Structure 1
Amino acid sequence: MANEEKENLNQSEEQEAAEAEVIDADTAEESETNAEGSEGLTQIEQEKNDLQERLLRVQAEYDNFRKRTQKEKEAASKYRSQDLAEALLPVVDNLDRALQTVQDEEANKGFVDGIRMVHRQLLEAFDKQGIEAIETVGQPFDPHQHQAVMQVENADYEPNTVVQELQKGYKLKDRVIRPAMVQVNS
């Protein structure tokens, strides 16, 4: 009987040891699961942060695209008549020259009046489209609006001032269509 008790005792100890191993294994699995869970959680949080950052960038990019296309659309509308104006500038120049060369105004009064009327109508059409002549004589030389073709010395003007206009320059709103050809005081 003592042997039986020893065997029962050994069996119980073995059973307790086996149960302890199972408990240790369960505890180890739980700690591994917790470690994996916290690693997975930080990885998910990182992915979430990356996606939020990408979303913000895409939204900013879209806003910039929308603003840029709006500006391009406004500029296209604002300067739509530029090509037509550039094509008509030589016509205006020729009308100016024709009016300057009229010698006997009385003999050609009807013809000259017709040319003046066409010239005036053309300039009015330019004005309606926002096209205007660039002021030159007496103005400081501006390379964005003037093209200096000659330099002269004139005591009546300050240095670097436009003395004479050789060909009119025009601008559409704030954009120069053609710079004015000018003489500049040196």
Structure 2
Amino acid sequence: MTEKEPITVVDNRKIDPETGEVRTADAEKDAASAPAADGAAAEQADAEVVEVEAEAEAGAPAESESGPAAGSADSDVANQLAERTADLQRLTAEYANYRRRVDRDRKAAVDAAKAAVVTELLGVLDDLDRARAHGDLETGPLKAVADKLADALRKQGLEEFGQEGDAFDPTLHEAVQHEGSGNDPVLGTVMRKGYRLGDRVLRHALVGVTDGVGDEAAKAASNGAEASDEDAAKKD
């Protein structure tokens, strides 16, 4: 509330308008002091009114804090706590996903680097297999070197596949020749071994495919049955 300055009116007239007499010096002082006194009284009254209103305004918040405002403050604190808890849970989940992704990428990078190194050594293994087939690895220092290399690669997870008699698998074997009817195909001749590192196929086996033992037995049985029928017909 803005305080208004009191208006002071000074009567400087030399003749009293009510009596018509000439005012003396004392009368002029009384006439001048009367409005001033009235103004001071009015100013004091206004000050009292302002003080009462200030006390009323100061008491209003105190009453509201103990009422609905306190409940609103508690509600705001609860909402902020829920928001911070949700943010913490989201950050925890994002960090866990980040760690899993980093571990998966690191493992993939290690496996790729290992596969690249082992693939470069497959030619050496082929040379050792040819030397072994010629009997050059039966004794001597070269046999020890070949055994150590094979053991080291085996510990890294390298596996060879492609043995004669194994069932033909087009995802593992590359057939360059085929003998027989094609029913129940198996590996007849292995020209080059295949290798895999874990679930990754580094090189397919180069093989020749032939019919399986089951088909050959069935053919033999069929041929025997036909021969028996022919003998029976001849006897008749």
Q: Specify the TM-score bucket, using the shorter chain as the normaliser.
A: 0.5 to 0.7
Shift of 1:38: 3.6
SS class of match (2:190): strand
Residue among 111, 116, 124 paired with 1:91: 124
Compare CA radii of gyration and give the structure with the larger one: 2
Structure 2 distance, partners of 1:37, 1:142, is 77
Query: For structure 1, which segment, 116-125 or 130-139, has the greater mean C-alpha deviation from structure 2 after superposition?
Result: 116-125
State the percentage of identical aligned residues.
Answer: 28
Q: Unmatched 5+ residue regions in structure 1?
A: 1-17, 103-108
The amino acid across from 1:139 in the alignment is A
Residue among 28, 35, 56 paired with 2:89: 56
Structure 2 distance, partners of 1:181, 1:139, is 14
Superposed CA offset, 1:21-58 (max 9, x none) = x69x949x956984454444333322221211111121
Q: Are the counterparts in 1 of residues 173 and 194 from structure 2 also a CA contact under 8 Å?
A: no
| Higher relative contact order (CA closer than 8 Å, sequence separation 6+) | 1
The amino acid across from 2:203 in the alignment is R
Q: Are the counterparts in 2 of residues 79 and 172 from structure 1 also a CA contact under 8 Å?
A: no
- Structure 2 matches for 1:1-186, cutoff 5 A? 26=60, 30=63, 34-70=67-103, 81-97=114-130, 117=143, 118-137=145-164, 138-141=166-169, 143=171, 146-150=172-176, 152-154=178-180, 158-159=184-185, 161-183=186-208
Are residues 61 and 182 of structure 1, via their aligned partners in 2, closer, same or farther at CA, if it must alter by over 3 Å?
Answer: farther
Structure 2 distance, partners of 1:30, 1:151, is 100
SS class of match (1:66): helix
TM-score by length of 1: 0.55
Structure 2 distance, partners of 1:135, 1:40, is 77
The amino acid across from 2:157 in the alignment is G
Q: How many residues align?
A: 155
Structure 1 distance, partners of 2:189, 2:168, is 12
What value does the CA root-mean-square deviation take over the aligned residues? Answer: 4.4
Structure 2 distance, partners of 1:111, 1:169, is 21
Q: Are the counterparts in 2 of residues 147 and 179 from structure 1 also a CA contact under 8 Å?
A: yes
The amino acid across from 1:152 in the alignment is H
Q: Unmatched 5+ residue regions in structure 2?
A: 1-51, 212-236
